[in-house]
Amino acid sequence: MGRLKKSVAGATLCAGVVFGCMAMAFPTSAADAASTSLQDIGTQKVSVQAKKMNKKNWYKKVLKRQKGSYKVRCWNYQYSYAYKTIRTNVSSYSYYKAADINKDGTKELLLSTNSTGRGYQSKVLVLTFRKGKVKPLIAFEELRNGLFLRGKKMYAQVGGSTESIITGYKVNKGKAKQFVKLERLRRWPNGSSDAVTTYWKNGAQITETQYNAECMKSVAYRTPLSFSRFN
């Protein structure tokens, strides 16, 4: 009986020791688990931040995803020499050009349906990145001589055999604003067999000399943009 009590007492003591060890070990395991969880969360957070768009990588992500639909003002819509608000998809374009138009440190993304950005049924979409979002600036259709960059400005030229129209744009705060429109128009007034050519700047008639001087400041002797294939 005495030996049994000792055995029982020993077992109780051992159980108490084991229980105590378990009680001491459990918080340590919980702390380790919590630490591991925090490390995982931290790793996930860093991973998410690494994948987030910024002004350095945004256009690369747009090209990679090839997704997105934008409502944008389009110049020369359906060869109309006029603006029209349209909706266009990134998936409609196969060529691109990345260029910092206004030299503010963020590149704009110009998407084109061909390698020149001009010609029959051609389309160009210009996007920028501002305040963490991709924003459409402007679109063009059927440019005659393409797009040009000069200084901090962008120029587009449309027209045919009887006219040439140059529009100039400044990019600021996520918007493309037209600041100049130059026109050379060849017409036959009152059914005359003799053509008359007139020159215009922002709706006001100017001389041929003045028109040529304006062209020298915009697209004359400039090489139009070319585009590289991305899909």
Question: Which tens digit of pLDDT belongs to each residue from 116-173?
Answer: 999 999 999 999 999 999 999 999 999 999 999 999 999 999 988 899 999 999 999 9
Domain count, the chain: 1
131 is a domain residue = yes
Q: Look at 195 and 36; give whichever has higher pLDDT.
A: 195
How far apart CA 224 and CA 147 sit, in angstroms, is 5
Does residue 53 sit within a domain? no
Average the pLDDT over 205-228 and give the result: 96
Q: Which tokens sit at 134?
A: 């991709």
Answer whether residue 108 is part of any domain. yes
In which domain, by residue range, is 76 found?
58-229
Asked if residue 19 is part of any domain, the answer here is no
Per-residue pLDDT tens for 68-85? Answer: 999 999 999 999 999 999
Report field, pTM of the whole predicted structure over 0.85? no
Tokens read off for 229: 């294939």
Residue 163 forms part of a structural domain: yes
Q: Measured on CA atoms in the order 171, 177, 180, 185, is the torsion positive or negative? A: positive
Give which of 61, 123, 56, 120 is closest to 86, Cα–Cα. Answer: 123
Once rounded to an integer, what is the mean pLDDT over residues 200-210? Answer: 98
pLDDT of residue 118: 95
Q: How confident is the model at residue 9 (pLDDT cuts 50, 70, 90)?
A: very low
- Average pLDDT over every residue of 180-198: 93
Q: What is the mean pLDDT of the chain?
A: 84
